[in-house]
Amino acid sequence: MLKTKWMFCLVLILALALVAVVGCDAPEEEVDEPDEPEEVEEPEEAVDDVVITVAAGAVGMELELTRDLAEMYMAENEGVTVEVLDTPDMVEDRLGLYLQFFEAGSSEVDVFQIDVIWPGDLSEHFIDLNQYGAAEVADDHFPAIIENNTVDGELVGIPWFTDAGLLYYRTDLLEKYDLDPPETWDDLEEAAQIIQDGERAENPDFWGFVWQGRAYEGLTCDALEWIASNDGGTIISPEGVITINNPNAIEIVDQAAGWVGTISPEGVTTMAEEESRAVWHAGNAAFMRNWPYAYATSQEEDSAVKDLFDVSPLPAGKAGSGAATLGGWQLAVSKYSENPEVAADVALFMASREGQKYRAVEGTFNPTIMDLYEDEEVLEAAPFFGSLYDVFINAVARPSTATAPQYAAVSELFYNAVYSVLLGEATAADAFEELELDLMDLTGFDAE
Ligand code: GLC
C-alpha cells in the first residue's frame, strides 16, 4: 500500500515536471510565464506529508482495531498519514518478514508490532523510546513487561497488550452433562470425553478440546503451560540452566500426546490460534485453550457460542494450580525509520491509555496499563480481566531473556521436540533427552 502510494506520488510529480519542461520547451513564447510551475505545488504538499507505516497483527479483530487507532491519530494530527501493514499471523512468518526489512535497512516500516519474546533478539533494530517520551508513561505499565522490553537500559518497545493462556469452556454443555469446570488436566480429559461422546450423536464434527498443536511458537506456549502446571520448569531457567529433561515435563507431554485423536482432532497438530478458534466459534468444541482475544470474537453475532461460554485458568497438573504462558505485543520504532519522532508519537498514542482502552473494550485485548483493570467500561466488556487478574499477573515467561539473542532457535528446537511426541514419533523421554543435548550445543548452557 505504502509503496503504491509513494510510487503514485512520484509518478505524478515526474509527470507534472515533464509537462512543465515540455511546456517550456515547445512554444517559445510561453517561456516567459514564470507562474506556471506553481500548479505543481498542490500535489507536492501531499508528498511533504509524513507517512508512518505500522506493521501490525491481524489475529481476531486486531487489524481492524489498529486501523481504527490509525484513523483516530490522523484525525488529531494533520499532515501525518498512518498506514497499517497487515502481517502474517504465525510468529515465525512475521519474524521472517521483519528480518527482511531489517537486513535491507529498510525505512518502509516505521513501527513494528513485536512479540514479548523478541526484545532481546531484535533490540539492535529499534530506537530507545525513553528518549521520545516513553519515560514519562513507563510507570503506568506492568513493571515486568517494561523490564522485559528494556535491553541495555533502552526501552525498545512500548507495551501494547499482554496475553495469557486461558481455558474457554461451554457453560451450556457443562450444565447439560452436569459437570464442573475442570480444575486439573485429568478433569478436563474426563469432561471433554463425556461431552464429546454425548454431542457426537447429533454432531459428528464435535470435539472435546481444541488447542494449538502445530509446530510453531504457539505450541511452545501451550506446552510450556502443561509443563509449568506439572512442576516441570520453564525449559531453561532464568539463570540459564537447561531444565527440560525432567520426569514431570516428560509425564505431562506424554499425557498431552494422548489427547490427539481422542478428545482432540488429529488435525490439532495443524492448528494455530485461529484454526482452533474456528472450531470453537462454530460450536464444535467443549473446551479451547486460547488467548483473551478469543473472548470478544466469541461474543460476535455470528458466533455459535455467543453467551454460552466462560473462561477460567488453565487446568493444573502436579503443581496444584494451572499455568498460563505470558504472551503479548509491544510497539517498537525502527532505527531505519526516516521519521522516528513521528513514528514514536504514533506508537505512544496507540499504546496510550486511550488506545489500550479502546482495544480492551472492543476486542478484549489485555491492557498493560495497570489502572485500566479498574476501569468500569473495560471490566464490563471483559469481566474476566478482573476475575482472572491473578492469571495475568502470574503468567509464566518463556526463556527469551536468558537465551537472547537465540530464543527463536531455542523455541524451534523445543516445539519440534514436543511436536514429534504429539505425532507419536517419539516418547517425551527420548525427545527431551535429545532436546537437552541440542540445547546445550546451541546455547552453551549446562543441563540441570
Ligand atoms: C500470542 C502471544 C504471543 C505468542 C503467540 C504464539 O500472539 O501474544 O506472545 O508468541 O501468541 O502464537
> What is the per-residue pLDDT across 16-66, written as a single tens digit (0 to 9) for each?
444 444 433 433 334 444 454 455 455 444 556 999 999 999 999 999 999
Higher-confidence residue of 333 and 26: namely 333
Q: In this structure, are 233 and 285 located in the same domain?
A: yes
Q: In this structure, are 153 and 264 located in the same domain?
A: no
For ligand 1, atom 4, the nearest C-alpha belongs to: 327
| Atom nearest to 115 CA in ligand 1 | 9
Residue 15 has pLDDT above 50, yes or no: no
262-290 residue pLDDT tens:
999 999 999 999 999 999 999 999 999 99
pLDDT at residue number 26: 38
| Atom nearest to 116 CA in ligand 1 | 9
| Atom nearest to 59 CA in ligand 1 | 7
User: Is residue 39 one of the residues assigned to a domain?
Assistant: no
What distance in angstroms lies between residue 72's CA and the mean position of ligand 1's atoms?
Answer: 26
User: Is residue 24 one of the residues assigned to a domain?
Assistant: no
Give percent of the chain above pLDDT 70. 89
- Whether 204 contacts 197, CB under 8 Å: no
380-392 residue pLDDT tens:
999 999 999 999 9
Q: In this structure, are 65 and 202 located in the same domain?
A: no
Q: In this structure, are 331 and 319 located in the same domain?
A: no
Q: What are phi and psi of 352, to 5 degrees?
A: -75, 175
Domain housing 126? 50-163+327-393
pLDDT band at 142 (very low <50, low <70, confident <90, very high): very high
What's the number of domains the chain is made of? 2
What distance in angstroms lies between residue 197's CA and the mean position of ligand 1's atoms?
Answer: 32
Q: Tell me how far CA of residue 200 lies from CA of 128, 205, 298, 402, in angstroms.
A: 55, 7, 22, 46
Q: In this structure, are 276 and 180 located in the same domain?
A: yes
* Separation between Cα atoms, residue 289 and residue 291, nearest integer Å: 7
Residue 232 has pLDDT above 80, yes or no: yes
| Atom nearest to 161 CA in ligand 1 | 8
Out of 393, 421, 439, a domain closes at 393
- Whether 410 contacts 236, CB under 8 Å: yes
- By DSSP bridging, strand 166-170 and strand 309-312 are antiparallel
User: Is residue 17 one of the residues assigned to a domain?
Assistant: no
User: Is residue 416 one of the residues assigned to a domain?
Assistant: yes
pLDDT band at 447 (very low <50, low <70, confident <90, very high): very high
For ligand 1, atom 11, the nearest C-alpha belongs to: 218
188-213 residue pLDDT tens:
999 999 999 999 999 999 999 999 99
296-312 residue pLDDT tens:
999 999 999 999 999 99
User: Is residue 27 one of the residues assigned to a domain?
Assistant: no
Average pLDDT over residues 347-361: 98
What distance in angstroms lies between residue 271's CA and the mean position of ligand 1's atoms?
Answer: 14
pLDDT at residue number 158: 98
Q: In this structure, are 191 and 155 located in the same domain?
A: no
| Atom nearest to 162 CA in ligand 1 | 8
Out of 349, 365, 393, a domain closes at 393
N-terminal to C-terminal alpha carbon distance within the chain? 50
User: Is residue 26 one of the residues assigned to a domain?
Assistant: no
Radius of gyration of the chain, Cα coordinates, nearest whole angstrom? 25
Q: In this structure, are 288 and 353 located in the same domain?
A: no
pLDDT at residue number 312: 98
With cell 523490564, the residue in question is 147
Of the candidates 309, 296, 298, 319, the residue with the CA atom closest to the CA atom of residue 396 = 319
Q: In this structure, are 427 and 281 located in the same domain?
A: yes
Q: In this structure, are 320 and 403 located in the same domain?
A: yes
- By DSSP bridging, strand 111-115 and strand 50-56 are parallel
What distance in angstroms lies between residue 25's CA and the mean position of ligand 1's atoms?
Answer: 60
Q: In this structure, are 319 and 354 located in the same domain?
A: no
Grid cell listed for 177: 452433562
Average pLDDT over residues 400-416: 97
Q: In this structure, are 298 and 171 located in the same domain?
A: yes
Of the candidates 214, 5, 216, the residue with the CA atom closest to the CA atom of residue 94 = 216
What distance in angstroms lies between residue 165's CA and the mean position of ligand 1's atoms?
Answer: 9
pLDDT at residue number 9: 43
Residue 3 has pLDDT above 50, yes or no: no
Best residue among 92, 95, 145, 217 to mutate for probing ligand 1, ranked by most atoms within 8 Å of CB: 217
CATH number at residue 309: 3.40.190.10
pLDDT at residue number 48: 66
79-103 residue pLDDT tens:
999 999 999 999 999 999 999 999 9
Out of 357, 378, 393, a domain closes at 393
Of the candidates 280, 255, 276, the residue with the CA atom closest to the CA atom of residue 267 = 276
What distance in angstroms lies between residue 326's CA and the mean position of ligand 1's atoms?
Answer: 8
Pocket of ligand 1 (CB under 6 A): 91, 115-117, 163, 217-218, 221, 273, 291, 327-329
Of the candidates 56, 85, 73, the residue with the CA atom closest to the CA atom of residue 160 = 56
What distance in angstroms lies between residue 328's CA and the mean position of ligand 1's atoms?
Answer: 6
* Separation between Cα atoms, residue 137 and residue 204, nearest integer Å: 52
Residue 238 has pLDDT above 90, yes or no: yes
**Mean pLDDT of the chain, nearest integer:** 92
Q: In this structure, are 303 and 378 located in the same domain?
A: no
pLDDT at residue number 30: 43
User: Is residue 4 one of the residues assigned to a domain?
Assistant: no
User: Is residue 150 one of the residues assigned to a domain?
Assistant: yes
